[in-house]
């Protein structure tokens, strides 16, 4: 008789920090794959819904709620030491909201997706898929709402897009696109921020996922 496979949820948590797309990793302090960085995750025992389990993990790691969370892919035997199934999710968060756990010797840490070390459990592949998905969905959804605070300047929004897409965008075209598609709207307020003209503040017209 085959032993029942282990089921885990894992979460790719993205934030834009220092104008770069970064992912939250934890340091494995026990075998298997001890000493490597890996995606946060945990076993699923069937007593809750799968997405609730992923969401609980996300809250545990970041302290933040009501984030954009989407199922990515399910992989078998990422951990070759035993029959296993891993259901991957990804989430987008504004780094300002994050309160990382700092109790351990090696606390969780952000890593740039374009400069990842070799990770445990083929997590590099999982992250590569997640990056591809986020890049694609940024184009035709409003999921960026989950990366930014309630109010933000157009420059901040554009920087988030540029960090994720990995290339620069034209300011005028970006503004037109965001306003014409009604993804965002002006709040009427402005923010003074140095020796230059103040930036108008915007908000997302919806903080629920919307397809364009």
Q: Looking at residue 207, what DSSP letter applies?
A: S
Q: What angle, rounded to 10 degrees, do the helices at 154-165 and 123-140 form?
A: 140
Q: How far is the CB of 53 from a second copy (least distance, A)?
A: 8
Pairing of strands 6-17, 20-27: antiparallel
**How many residues are there in the chain?**
212
Chosen from a second copy, DNA, none, partner binding at 103 (C-beta under 5 to 8 Å by type): none
Do residues 191 and 50 make contact, with C-beta atoms less than 8 angstroms apart?
A: no
Residue 142: Cβ-neighbour burial (10 angstroms; 0-12, 13-18, 19+)? buried
Residue 141 contacts a second copy per CB under 8 A: no
State yes or no: residue 71 binds a second copy (CB under 8 A).
yes
Decide which of a second copy, DNA, none touches 200; Cβ closer than 5 to 8 Å per partner kind.
Answer: DNA
Q: Are residues 184 and 204 in contact, defined by beta-carbon separation less than 8 angstroms?
A: yes
DSSP 35: T
| From the list a second copy, DNA, none, partner contacted by residue 170 (C-beta under 5 to 8 A by kind) | DNA
Q: Which of 173, 188, 208, 211 binds DNA (CB under 7 A)?
A: 173
Contact with a second copy (CB under 8 A) among 30, 47, 65, 115 = 47
Q: Which stretch binds a second copy (CB under 8 A): 23-31, 44-52, 147-155, 162-170?
A: 44-52
Asked whether the bond before 185 is cis by omega within 30 degrees of 0, the reply is no
Decide: is 4 part of the binding site for a second copy (CB under 8 A). Answer: yes
Question: Any contact of residue 129 with a second copy (CB under 8 A)?
Answer: no
Do 86 and 78 touch, CB atoms closer than 8 A? yes
Least distance (Å) between residue 135 CB and a second copy: 13
Which partner, DNA, a second copy, none, binds residue 175 by CB below 5 to 8 Å per kind? DNA
If one asks whether residue 167 binds DNA (CB under 7 A), the answer comes out as no
Position of tokens 């103040």?
198
Contact set with a second copy (CB under 8 A): 2-5, 7, 44-47, 49-51, 71, 73-77, 83-85, 87
């Amino acid at each position: 008789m085959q032993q029942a496979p282990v089921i885990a949820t894992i979460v790719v948590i993205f934030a834009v920090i220092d104008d770069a797309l970064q992912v939250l990793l934890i340091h494995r302090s026990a075998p298997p794959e001890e000493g490597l960085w890996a995606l946060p995750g945990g076993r699923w025992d069937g007593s809750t819904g799968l997405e609730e389990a992923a969401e609980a993990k996300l809250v545990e790691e970041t302290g933040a709620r009501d984030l954009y969370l989407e199922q990515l892919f399910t992989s078998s035997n990422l951990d070759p030491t035993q029959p296993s199934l891993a259901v991957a999710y990804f989430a987008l968060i504004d780094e300002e909201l994050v309160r990382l756990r700092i109790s351990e010797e090696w606390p969780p840490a952000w890593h740039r997706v374009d400069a990842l070390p070799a990770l445990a459990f083929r997590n590099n592949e999982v992250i590569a898929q997640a990056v591809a998905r986020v890049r694609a969905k940024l184009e035709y959804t409003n999921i960026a709402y989950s990366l930014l605070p309630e109010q933000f300047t157009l420059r901040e929004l554009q920087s988030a897009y540029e960090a994720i897409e990995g290339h620069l965008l034209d300011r005028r075209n970006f503004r037109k696109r965001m306003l014409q598609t009604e993804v965002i709207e002006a709040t009427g307020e402005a923010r003074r921020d140095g020796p230059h003209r103040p930036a108008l503040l915007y908000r997302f017209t919806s903080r629920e996922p919307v397809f364009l």
